[in-house]
Amino acid sequence: MACIIVGRPNSGKTSFLINFAAYLGLNSLKISVRRPQGYLANQTMTIARARSNLITCHSHTTRNLQSIKIVLPKGKRGKEIEIIDTCGLAEGIHPDREVRMGMAQTIEKILLCKMALHILDLSAIEKTTSTIDNELYQYLKNSVGYALLANKIDKEDALAKITHVRNTFSSVPVFPISALYSRGFKEVYRFVLAYY
């Protein structure tokens, strides 16, 4: 089974992937990166190295699908799931071909996914949510395994925006989280475990 992480650039998708793996007890990550040409590149790195190498404040650092496999405690043997990080989706046509290819990979994976965790950046919300976030919600809201993770609750004024997010995305579970500080992960873990 696979779970896809989607959202806009710099919403905290990669930070969530790495810190959620750490929350679940992993000390190192075996990351599979799927290039647009179709081949896989595998690399193993510690959690600390993954944080320093893969998390930045620049848009579109993640340009390919990258995934890790985690065993959740379910039954006698546990249940292995693949969690897939994606290229952030942005409005318009991006000038960088590699970013466009990454976004195309993301859209293709969304069409095939059975479970999606949609990361929404609370610090980027002013009066309304973005077109991309609204379109993701409209497409995925009828999926059984879909939840919205309202990220960056550690930022100033973020908690005041939670009510607006819950009203806007009223038909799906909304979990306030801090991907950077691993806050709210217990509720996300329960949601994922219940689905599988």
Tell me the pLDDT tens digit for each residue of 45-55.
999 999 999 88
Q: In order of start, what are the domains of the chain with their CATH numbers?
A: 2-195 (3.40.50.300)
Question: Is residue 60 scored above 80 in pLDDT?
Answer: no
Strand boundaries in 78-142, DSSP class E = 79-85, 115-121
Helix axes 47-54, 13-23, angle to 10 degrees: 170
The closest of 16, 41, 3 to 120, measured between CA atoms, is 16
The closest of 151, 67, 170, 62 to 113, measured between CA atoms, is 67
Per-residue pLDDT, 151: 97
Taken as a whole, the chain contains a residue count of 196
Residue 84 DSSP SS3:
strand
Per-residue pLDDT, 63: 81
Question: Is residue 125 scored above 80 in pLDDT?
Answer: yes
